[in-house]
Structure 1
Amino acid sequence: MGIVINQSIKNTVITYIGFAIGAINTLYMYVQFLGDTYYGLVGYILSSANILMPLMAFGVHNTLVKYFNEYKTEEEKSKFLTFVLFLPLLLVIPFSLIAYFGYHQIALILSKENAIVYDYVWQIPVIGLSMGYFEIFYAWVKVHLQSVLGNFIKEVVLRILVSMTLFAVYLNWITPEAFVYALMGIYLFAMLFMKWFAFKVRFPLFSLSIPTNAKAIVVYSLFIILTGGIANLFLEIDKFMLNNYVKIENIAYYSVAIFIATVIAVPSRAMHQITYPITAKLMSENKYDALNDLYKKTSITLQIIGGLIFIGILCNINQLYVLLPQEYSDGIFVVFTIGLSKYFDLTLGNNNAIIFNSQYYKTVLFLGVLLLLVTIGLNMIFIPLYGLKGTAFATLLSITLYSLSKLFFVVLKMKLFPFSINTLKSFGILIATFAVFYFWDFGFHPILNIFLKSVLITLFYLGFSYYFSLSSDINSVLGKLFQKIVKK
């Protein structure tokens, strides 16, 4: 457990460092150095590559983690590692042939609205393949408890290399066009470096023999392709579809707004690492009373923490956008709508962990497919009518429907319920904080304005949350913090 805890702490620190660097890149360097057109192009290429990634990886990055420890001998492990290393080629080879011989037709379709896309379409599968095999080699080292370097490359090194390349654009050492090619090179480098490290941790002894449970491996991998594909499509389909209806500059404006709104979901990702194994244990032991308590605790805790971030963003959004070029101002509505969907999803606590550890996970998967089709349909309706605001509204509707469907599924099928009277109290504090601080302007420089208002919002919001004892866990942390301050 010492290794696990040690690496978990290191990975958490690395993730937040990477997030900070990503914020600088997204909110400043891309905006100021690259320009709207090429920023939009980069956003489109990376979103499309992310959509392809689960196909290019064939779900092997999850399969490797799930099945590796089931093999006891070195010979069995070698067979398995060789098998999963080449398994993605079942899709990569035919996909590459289709892309090669059908490039002109595919590129014409994707560049119908934005001609600049035509010359860069070929980069999408290359980056997607690099992302896919990076995750495979990352999983390779994870199963050998060597995850820190891989996470550092993924979260920090990639972003630093992007920062350096953007700075090269600023110094006129390279052109924006060259940056797009350099970005592809960065992802290829990350994948090759990860391959080198994975093979250093354990060099594969290539075997032509097929592992004993090859059928189960393939079936599970196909399932992961489906689940991973749905998850990535939910995250990236809006930017992909924007390219078909509006000028590519709008993807740049949308990317900034989405990044800001996504900050709200950070606490959920951190808590998931802790609550997922606890949820699985309680369900395996049929301790549903304890599970319901955990469900309520995670719900109210995430609602309070996520609510603080959400209200902090909303009350400072106008000052934040003063720091950006005027063209980005349409993103304010996007931040409001996407932020609201993220906030609602947070209030469901460990809902996803409950579903994916239950016997109903496949049913919910197919529900996800249905709602993905709804998302595509809504985007096709609203983007031509309202542009960025249309895709934001479509995303709000689809994510809310998906979250509600998962909530009702758990409530009706498993008789678990995440909400309590404290849910309403917390929402009331959120509304009150918004009413008090949204229109408050100190008249200082936007950065100083944001800082001062954030301090006051935090004191007001957490003060009332503590006073009404909405979460025993949060009250305990705040109480200990207050005692330390008083002692000093």
Structure 2
Amino acid sequence: MGIVQRQGLRNTIISYLGLALGFLNTAFIVPRFLAANQLGLTSTLLSIATIYAQLSALGFASVGIRFFPYFRNREAGHQGFLPLLLGIPLLGFGLVTLLYLSGKPLVLGFYEHAQDRALISSYYGWAAGLALFVMLYSLQDAYLKGLYHTAFSSFVQEILLRVLQAGAAVLYGLGYLSFHGYVLAYIGTMSGIALLLTVYLAYIGELHVRPTTAALRVQPIRGILSFGAFALLANISGTIIMNIDTLMVSSQLNLAAAGVYSIAFFISTALTLPARSLNKIAFPLLADYWKENALPRMAAFYRDTTRLNAVLGCYLALGIGLNLDFIYGLMNNPALQAGTTAVLVLLAARLFDGITGLNGLILVTSPRYRYDLLFNVSLALVTVGLNAVLIPRLGLTGAAVAFLLAIVSINLARTWFVWHSYRMQPFTVRIPLILLSAAVAGGAAWLMPAFNSALATMLLRSTVLTIVYAALILLTKSAPEATALLQKFRRQNPPA
């Protein structure tokens, strides 16, 4: 667990600094300078590019993590693994680009409003360039995960990217950039972080770009391509689940509604940070556990990470949900407050996702990874159907409810399958204690009186929540890590 703790700590620090910067962007900068439909355009372009990149990558981001342990040999340039990892997806990108450009009339036909359709059309080609660099970033990030070098990729994505995006928004707000210039700068920042990973790989001496025939002998290429095909379908299903709501809100409602939803979606992502920072190192670690057949160690890791995600997730969900008035007040854009209910529903989805643990990563790295395909493809189809039914009836809240149902369904299915197949499940008696502690602490904070000052109300509720929640977690001993930390503090600072 040493490397997990070191890399996990670095990633956690970077992720929370990124959260702070992202909050500054979302609450203070971007909403002050961009209208809701402009926010909707950038979020729609990113959603298109993300799906586009996943299709092009042919599942090789997962291949990079799953098979790298078999290629690892620095003296031999990892036996040509990086050229293999990049080469096949680049061929896939060329094919998908032909389909994407020829399908432009079909895509634009989904947008009913002429103004929205014209905006999407203006930047349709630029989305292809954005997709290329999104794909290259994901492939290089997967390679770095296999090398256990994850902190720098977290830094460029969580911190540097947001600083650059904030700078672009400020330049637009001050009149130095037109809106067209801002969109190109937004795309450029996303592209730049992929290039930085290339520079970083060269810096640490891991940019082994010379193709070798050894890459075709370490593992059967047919097996690699087969895994990639299944990973593609599994990954694209997950990407659809995460992005289709924005696309369908923009097409079924309008770009302005997509902008409101994108802000609500971002607010809810705060709950993903503990799991995201841990998963960066957990994915290759699980691959090694499967290689070594170390199932007892994997089961213990499964339970520990689930408990940790539950403790942090409940606290963050309550902290955000209780203070939405304050958060939206900082944005100084009343139109965005239409997403308040959607935030609460999305928070519930994120919390459930965190509490159910690493089921997806365990399954996709296991010998039975093919079964995950069935779960994901079925769920992606259901998600599209739910959005098609709920968005016209419930608007933004319908998209959030569809996301919640999708997340709950996939996690229940995966958790059951991991237990049924390997007799591993992430829950202990401590999970109900954590949930009960969260409910009591949240209720206590909610009962606090509201002041005329939103800041004062936020500070009071947050203080009560923190004190009551921390006290209950320690009293119930539901988080051994917190109890051990308190005991260590007492030993180092004995009472006078």
Normalised by the size of structure 1, how large is the TM-score? 0.87
Give the AA of the match of 1:361.
Answer: Y
* Aligned pair partner of 1:245 in 252, 255, 275: 252
Equivalent position of 1:459 in the other structure: 467
Which of structures 1 and 2 has the larger relative contact order (alpha carbons within 8 angstroms, sep 6+)?
A: 2
| Deviation per residue, 1:320-346 (Å, 9 max, x gap) | 223332222222211111111222222
Q: Following the alignment from structure 1 to structure 2, what is the Cα–Cα distance between the partners of residues 469 and 126?
A: 51
Q: Following the alignment from structure 1 to structure 2, what is the Cα–Cα distance between the partners of residues 350 and 444?
A: 43
Equivalent position of 1:310 in the other structure: 317
Q: Which moved more, 1:259-268 or 1:218-227?
A: 218-227
Equivalent position of 2:412 in the other structure: 404
2:274 is the counterpart of 1:267 = yes
- The alignment covers a number of residue pairs equal to 486
Relative to structure 1, the CA distance from residue 245 to residue 73 in structure 2 (aligned partners, 3 Å threshold; closer, same or farther) is: closer
Q: What is the CA-CA distance between 1:389 and the residue it aligns to?
A: 0.7
| Deviation per residue, 1:38-96 (Å, 9 max, x gap) | 11111111122112222233333443454456455977856544343321233222222
Give the AA of the match of 1:41.
Answer: L
Q: Following the alignment from structure 1 to structure 2, what is the Cα–Cα distance between the partners of residues 357 and 139?
A: 14
Q: Following the alignment from structure 1 to structure 2, what is the Cα–Cα distance between the partners of residues 15 and 80?
A: 29
Equivalent position of 2:101 in the other structure: 100
Q: Following the alignment from structure 1 to structure 2, what is the Cα–Cα distance between the partners of residues 296 and 7?
A: 19
Relative to structure 1, the CA distance from residue 311 to residue 481 in structure 2 (aligned partners, 3 Å threshold; closer, same or farther) is: farther
Instruction: Give the 5 Å matches for 1:389-428.
Output: 389-428=397-436
Equivalent position of 1:388 in the other structure: 396
Q: Following the alignment from structure 1 to structure 2, what is the Cα–Cα distance between the partners of residues 144 and 357?
A: 17
Relative to structure 1, the CA distance from residue 301 to residue 12 in structure 2 (aligned partners, 3 Å threshold; closer, same or farther) is: closer
Q: What is the CA-CA distance between 1:460 and the residue it aligns to?
A: 0.8
2:127 is the counterpart of 1:119 = no
* Aligned pair partner of 1:168 in 164, 168, 171: 171
| Deviation per residue, 1:128-156 (Å, 9 max, x gap) | 11111123344556666665444432332
* Aligned pair partner of 1:154 in 157, 162, 169: 157
Q: Following the alignment from structure 1 to structure 2, what is the Cα–Cα distance between the partners of residues 304 and 466?
A: 11
2:139 is the counterpart of 1:132 = no
Relative to structure 1, the CA distance from residue 8 to residue 349 in structure 2 (aligned partners, 3 Å threshold; closer, same or farther) is: closer
2:192 is the counterpart of 1:189 = yes
Relative to structure 1, the CA distance from residue 414 to residue 75 in structure 2 (aligned partners, 3 Å threshold; closer, same or farther) is: closer
SS at match of 1:323: helix
Q: Which moved more, 1:38-47 or 1:140-149?
A: 140-149
Q: Following the alignment from structure 1 to structure 2, what is the Cα–Cα distance between the partners of residues 270 and 209?
A: 33
Q: Following the alignment from structure 1 to structure 2, what is the Cα–Cα distance between the partners of residues 418 and 141?
A: 27
Q: What is the CA-CA distance between 1:177 and the residue it aligns to?
A: 2.7
Q: Which moved more, 1:179-188 or 1:395-404?
A: 179-188
Q: Which moved more, 1:234-243 or 1:468-477?
A: 468-477
Task: Give the alignment's Cα RMSD to 1 decimal.
Answer: 3.2
Instruction: Give the 5 Å matches for 1:319-338.
Output: 319-324=326-331, 325-338=333-346
Instruction: Give the 5 Å matches for 1:196-211.
Output: 196-199=199-202, 201=205, 202=207, 204-206=209-211, 211=216
SS at match of 1:440: coil
Q: What is the CA-CA distance between 1:252 and the residue it aligns to?
A: 1.6
SS at match of 1:244: helix
Q: Which moved more, 1:473-482 or 1:276-285?
A: 276-285
Relative to structure 1, the CA distance from residue 91 to residue 272 in structure 2 (aligned partners, 3 Å threshold; closer, same or farther) is: closer
Relative to structure 1, the CA distance from residue 137 to residue 95 in structure 2 (aligned partners, 3 Å threshold; closer, same or farther) is: same
Q: Following the alignment from structure 1 to structure 2, what is the Cα–Cα distance between the partners of residues 83 and 305?
A: 39
Relative to structure 1, the CA distance from residue 304 to residue 11 in structure 2 (aligned partners, 3 Å threshold; closer, same or farther) is: closer
Q: Following the alignment from structure 1 to structure 2, what is the Cα–Cα distance between the partners of residues 461 and 294?
A: 24
Q: What is the CA-CA distance between 1:8 and the residue it aligns to?
A: 5.3
Give the AA of the match of 2:95.
Answer: P
Instruction: Give the 5 Å matches for 1:69-88.
Output: 70-71=70-71, 79-88=80-89
Structure 2: segments with no counterpart, 5+ residues: none
Q: Following the alignment from structure 1 to structure 2, what is the Cα–Cα distance between the partners of residues 279 and 203?
A: 22
Relative to structure 1, the CA distance from residue 39 to residue 275 in structure 2 (aligned partners, 3 Å threshold; closer, same or farther) is: closer
- Identity percentage over the alignment? 23
Q: What is the CA-CA distance between 1:174 and the residue it aligns to?
A: 1.1
Q: Following the alignment from structure 2 to structure 1, what is the Cα–Cα distance between the partners of residues 194 and 286?
A: 33
Relative to structure 1, the CA distance from residue 49 to residue 287 in structure 2 (aligned partners, 3 Å threshold; closer, same or farther) is: closer
Relative to structure 1, the CA distance from residue 302 to residue 207 in structure 2 (aligned partners, 3 Å threshold; closer, same or farther) is: closer
Q: Following the alignment from structure 1 to structure 2, what is the Cα–Cα distance between the partners of residues 449 and 465?
A: 24
Equivalent position of 1:18 in the other structure: 18
Q: Following the alignment from structure 2 to structure 1, what is the Cα–Cα distance between the partners of residues 130 and 436?
A: 45
Equivalent position of 2:226 in the other structure: 219
Q: What is the CA-CA distance between 1:30 and the residue it aligns to?
A: 1.5
SS at match of 2:322: helix
| Deviation per residue, 1:254-311 (Å, 9 max, x gap) | 11211221212222233445666379649955655x7666554444433222111111
Q: Which moved more, 1:18-27 or 1:433-442?
A: 433-442
Relative to structure 1, the CA distance from residue 471 to residue 189 in structure 2 (aligned partners, 3 Å threshold; closer, same or farther) is: closer
2:354 is the counterpart of 1:346 = yes
Q: Following the alignment from structure 2 to structure 1, what is the Cα–Cα distance between the partners of residues 433 and 461?
A: 22
Q: Following the alignment from structure 1 to structure 2, what is the Cα–Cα distance between the partners of residues 102 and 387?
A: 27
Relative to structure 1, the CA distance from residue 411 to residue 220 in structure 2 (aligned partners, 3 Å threshold; closer, same or farther) is: closer
| Deviation per residue, 1:97-128 (Å, 9 max, x gap) | 2333443x135224334222221222222211
Relative to structure 1, the CA distance from residue 283 to residue 409 in structure 2 (aligned partners, 3 Å threshold; closer, same or farther) is: farther
For the 8 Å contact 2:33–2:170, the answer to whether it is kept is yes
Q: Following the alignment from structure 1 to structure 2, what is the Cα–Cα distance between the partners of residues 73 and 270?
A: 26
| Deviation per residue, 1:343-390 (Å, 9 max, x gap) | 222222343344345443321331121111111100000001111011
Q: Following the alignment from structure 1 to structure 2, what is the Cα–Cα distance between the partners of residues 216 and 372?
A: 25
Normalised by the size of structure 2, how large is the TM-score? 0.86
Q: Following the alignment from structure 1 to structure 2, what is the Cα–Cα distance between the partners of residues 171 and 402?
A: 45
Q: What is the CA-CA distance between 1:485 and the residue it aligns to?
A: 6.5
For the 8 Å contact 2:66–2:365, the answer to whether it is kept is no
For the 8 Å contact 1:22–1:159, the answer to whether it is kept is yes
Q: Which moved more, 1:156-165 or 1:199-208?
A: 199-208
